[in-house]
Amino acid sequence: MIKFLFKGLWRDKSRSRMPILIVAVGVALSVFLHAYITGMMGDSIEMNAKMSFGHVKVVSKAYAENMSQMPLDLALMETTDLTQRLSQEFPTITWVERIQFGGLVDAPDAEGSTMTQGPAVGMGVDLLSEHADEVERMNLAQSLIQGRLPGQPGEVLLSDQFARNLKVNPGDAITLIGSTMYGGMSYYNFIVSGTVSFGVKVLDKGTMIADIQDVRLALDMEDAATEIVGFFSIGYFDGDIASNISHQFNDKFTETPGDEYAPAMLTLKDQPGMGQMVDLGAAMGAIITGVFMFAMALVLWNAGLLGGIRRYGEFGIRLAMGEAKSHVYISLLYESVMIGIMGAVVGTMFGLFFAWLLQTYGLDLGDSMKGSSIMLPTVLRARITPVDFYIGFIPGIVSTLIGTALAGLGIYKRKTSQLFKELEV
């Protein structure tokens, strides 16, 4: 019977073309929207990961307990060897060393006396080495407001608001006053190479970014770092992968359980505030997608209902010829399932295609966002996940089937006396 019904749908385009088209459009929109929402919510998390948290992060056990205070005396030692071991054990992850620190920035006047001062939260990252990719990862070039990026040792970036408060411009000298890793006082001179805008009040208030080697010299942290940050090669955070890698590392690399300076790995969700953000992103994506899926289900349900009602004349003729009502009803359900499957397949293909285009090439918003923020993505991208390959079949088949089933109930209410009037039309 399925073969017979398929031939009927194939030969009678009026019965199949429009229903399949409606289902395909609805499914394509559902698939594309889910991929878009997944990419959009994921990008905001990724910007926080790239700027500070990483997908996974290695710190000392004691530092992990006091991370908000950025204690330099609890930093990791011999980080070159540790980074090499991490690269060997987890080659699919990109590992970078960073130093988070705080201090007082002093801006001198023309005579060398203090003109202005302000507290700063600093970050030492790899800006000048041959294989440095932190500039691209942190989107610094697109966030530049004045001047240029550091091109040689001794140069530093300041947040634009912080630079204005200090009354300094690119090319001016500043002095970082802080404490070293061993508790001594530190004075280190920098040249402001440029300013950037973060678009986040806390960061714009007082942030400086310098090359990690300069920070090591300034804070007496030779071959040391407060953290070693890891980024997945897949380009986005995956909680299951991160959790698995974290357990492997902590079981293998923590050789002395009682050593507070022993390295420990944290995932993105383990760090302050990020667990709630990741969960909220997943929940918001599911809610938005669910609302749209429900709306599309109503549309497809209505389409199936109207399609069944318009065929009441056909059903009357088939009943008049002696076909059982149950057989007519079951054949109608079979047809709706076939239409739903064909429409869902076509719609999924188109939805995945457009999602792939947005994922691969993205939508560049750099011109409109230039200099506004490095915490938000300048290129809008979708993200195709395994769910996108089947999520469209839910409204495509189920809703169409339900709509057709409700419309088909009218078959059991057909009366022979009504057929003459219908056949006269």
| 219 and 102 in a common domain | yes
Picking from 227, 257, 274, the residue at the C-terminal end of a domain is 274
Residues 6+ apart with CB under 8 A from 314: none
Query: CA-to-CA distance for 213 and 211, rounded, in angstroms?
Result: 6
| 304 and 169 in a common domain | no
Residues 6+ apart with CB under 8 A from 3: none
Q: How far is CA 295 from CA 130, 288, 290, 292, in A?
A: 52, 11, 9, 5
Residue range of the domain that includes 316: 2-47+277-424
Query: CA-to-CA distance for 282 and 293, rounded, in angstroms?
Result: 16
| 281 and 166 in a common domain | no
Evaluated on CA atoms 194, 199, 204, 208, the torsion sign reads negative
Kindly tell me if the per-residue pLDDT of 366 is higher than 60: no
User: Which of 1-5, 76-80, 140-144, 230-234 is the least confident region?
Assistant: 1-5
| 299 and 245 in a common domain | no
pLDDT tens digit string along 172-215? 999 999 898 888 899 999 999 999 987 667 677 888 999 999 99
177: burial class by Cβ within 10 Å (0-12, 13-18, 19+)? Answer: middle
Mean per-residue pLDDT for 69-84?
A: 89
| 220 and 348 in a common domain | no
Query: CA-to-CA distance for 408 and 327, rounded, in angstroms?
Result: 11
Query: CA-to-CA distance for 64 and 246, rounded, in angstroms?
Result: 14
SS3 314: helix
Cβ burial 238-257 (10 Å sphere, 16+ → b, else e): eeebbeebbeebbeebeeee
| 91 and 223 in a common domain | yes
Picking from 226, 253, 274, the residue at the C-terminal end of a domain is 274
Which helix (H) or strand (E) segment holds residue 98: the answer is strand 93-108
| 184 and 68 in a common domain | yes
304 neighbors 403 (Cβ within 8 angstroms)? yes
Q: Band of the pLDDT at 39, cuts 50, 70, 90? A: confident
| 121 and 40 in a common domain | no
HEC profile of 197-221 = CCCCHHHHHCEEEEEHHHHHHHHCC
User: Which of 83-97, 215-229, 409-423 is the least confident region?
Assistant: 409-423
Residue 127 DSSP code: -
SS3 131: coil
What domain count does the chain have? 2
Picking from 274, 297, 314, the residue at the C-terminal end of a domain is 274
Q: Is the pTM of this model over 0.75?
A: no
381: burial class by Cβ within 10 Å (0-12, 13-18, 19+)? Answer: buried
Residues 6+ apart with CB under 8 A from 171: 147, 191, 192
Which tokens is 297 given?
A: 């289900």
| 240 and 167 in a common domain | yes
At residue 274, what is the residue type?
M
| 302 and 262 in a common domain | no
| 95 and 33 in a common domain | no
Q: Band of the pLDDT at 400, cuts 50, 70, 90? A: confident
| 130 and 17 in a common domain | no
